[in-house]
Amino acid sequence: MGFTWQPKWVRKKLSESGIEVVTCVDETTNLIVCPICVNIDELCPPNKPTSKQIEGVSLFFSIKDLIQHMYTHIEESWREKILPKELKEGEEEEH
């Protein structure tokens, strides 16, 4: 029994609560990739399904989960802009 699968990534436009996201969806498992974490132009070029393997990225079961994850990217960028340098360094030491 293997722990991997042969993905078939296709580009799709997903929408939820008025938010539209263009990303890659695996037709085998319906897992969704974050288009911020992964270069979707390489993983699933328009009109060309691929079977590329990806590692070390989060995959999502629903568009709601993906949108929640994408909000964390916004929070990270705001944190970088507003937190003093000393506080950022202190947070890194705690982790």
What is the span of the domain harbouring residue 57? 9-94
Q: Model pTM greater than 0.95?
A: no
Residue 4 within a domain: no
> Distance between CA 60 and CA 41 in Å, rounded?
19
Residue 72 within a domain: yes
- Whether 63 contacts 46, CB under 8 Å: no
Question: Which residues, in sequence order, are CB contacts of 21 under 8 Å at separation 6+?
Answer: 13, 14, 15, 35, 63, 66, 67, 70
Residue 1 within a domain: no
- The count of structural domains within the chain is 1
Q: Specify the 3-state DSSP secondary structure of 72.
A: helix
- pLDDT tens by residue, 41-62: 999 999 999 999 999 999 999 9
Does 91 have pLDDT greater than 60? no
